[in-house]
Structure 1
Amino acid sequence: MTRPSGPLPEGLVAFAPASIGNVAAGFDLLGAALAPLDGSLLGDLVSIAPAEEASFQVTGPFASALAGDPRPNLALKARDLFLTALRAGGGEAGPFAITLEKRLPVASGLGSSASSIVATLAGLQALCGDPFSVPELLDLAGQAEGSTSGGIHLDNVVPSLLGGLQLVVPGREGKAAARRLPWPADLLMVVVHPEIRLSTAESRRVLPERPGWSETVAFAGNLAGLVEALHSGDRALLGRCLRDPLVEVHRAPLVPGFRAAQAAAKRLGALGCSLSGSGPSIFAVAEDEAQARALALAIRDAFEGAGLASQGWLCALDPEGARVLPAGFRPPLCEVRP
């Protein structure tokens, strides 16, 4: 998480990138932040400023998708958790005027909720003088994410906050921590979003309460193999481990065209292809830009064959994660159709 140096402005704009949860091998433990190759920003923006009275509004191309939701917006949930924790530590801040510019589609598998949560926390953290440590911010983000998704999971909020490819690991005093894993600079993420919605809570409901021993061992060995491959540079092992032996089989039927898209990606030599988080978006890993473009077209064709329009992005990993944008700077924002 970064912010400009110098005195804090009276108000600011924070950005948090979209992310891929699980990254096939690491259910609830592994996530990657996304940066489109064209230099645009794919994620939500949150504007925060001190105010006489607290206010909140949602703008952006996907604001209407949240209009009918009776639950509190996750940006508000993040704000309330932040301020409650601040008061518990003897601090005080606010009220704030907050505007969420919702630029990621809802229930998309792109870390949409994590982006809103993390951008809010990053903005409040900067305005309030950095009162919390990274583990404390992750705990707040996990609480907010878990309030609607059916359980606390950090695989989206960690990379959205910290950037790169992140592995959730045991921390001190029972808290979760994170470790950045190396990712080869030449490997690209092809991300395709079919225009349907699939909530994390719905996608989690199809999972068995407990996996069997064989599935558990396969998952552990596969994730360990992926980590070893990334540290050793073993590209062949990486390709064998960019798969999901645990939850994909249960979630695949929820996404029309997924298996056809996955098969097409494998025929074109993708190192891996799976659901992005809980879906319906999917990702594939390419070894160069030409292959990435071919993969994007093939995956979109598979979705079209299932009767679904789709969008695709060619991405590297976002190395920064959440950041406060310089005053007056209006970043190039990635076009996402509502």
Structure 2
Amino acid sequence: MNRVVVTGAAGFIGLHVAEALLDRGVEVMGVDALVPYYDPALKQARLAKLVGRNGFSFEQIDIADHDAFDAAIGAFRPDAIIHLAAQAGVRYSLENPRAYASANLDGFLSVLEASRRRQVGHLVYASSSSVYGANAKVPFSEHDGADHPISLYAATKRANELMAHSYAHLYGIPTTGLRFFTVYGPWGRPDMAYFKFTKAILAGEPIDVYAEAQMSRDFTYVDDICEAIVRLAAQPAAADPAFDHKRPDPATSAAPWRIYNIGNHTPVALSHFIDVVEAACGRKAIRRHLPAQPGDVPTTYADVADLAAAVEFRPDTPIEVGIPRFVAWFRKFYRV
């Protein structure tokens, strides 16, 4: 890969992926609408880390603006698109569902159409572990069905996978969907639990803990996510020669379409996770116990055998390493 478009470049994962590509000498065009879903100053600070770096350019575009996005792709002529822009958040989807239709459905259609029109060599896009929804079998495998989402956010991400398959089948566009499992780390999103916990604990304020005894998560450090993304982006999806139309495999296809889990494959109980955040902050949390919220999945747990087979990499950063790095960043950035 010589030229790559990263959508959502001012976002959490987008920043890290753009930096990883630039470090490898790849020319990157970042695209972001800078939507104020959370503090725009944080997005501007992320973007400032990229602007001025050799090989980086930026376009402030809403991906739902089909013509503007297509024109930008046509002018840049990328080898690949790494599509990370989206309306994130399970709980916010209960409050503002139309934002998800615009960004995650109409916006993704823009990306697919630009990939088709401009003959992009590989489209890599963010899906989510939330697509597994009501699945009770763990660890979650790409080879199991994922057709019972329990939030609109999850439904839009599953829709992205199906939309990508249709374009892979119709137009031969290699598409690779990545199901991320609870990503955390420096420059993270303020709406994520670990960010809220850190902010509240350092301020001496209570934290809201939902269904603590029931919850566990496959927390995945952002550097591991980036390593997997960059490796997979360099390997365009290919048709599975062994695909059986009578017994279709949900993870592969006769079209150039693949799905991969990217997770730490080691679920951590929420109670222990909070213990680690407390240790990194140097003080105990005031825990306010609340019931589970609508749309929450009790346990996430990634099977990453396919990822390891494809790129010889398994995320493995433990929270005892990753969380102190995040807290150190938080203290420095917010001058706490």
TM-score calculated relative to the size of structure 1: 0.27
Which is richer in strand? 1
- Report the TM-score when normalising by structure 2: 0.27
Quick check: which one's helix share is greater? 2
State the structure with bigger RCO (CA 8 A, min sep 6), 1 or 2. Answer: 1
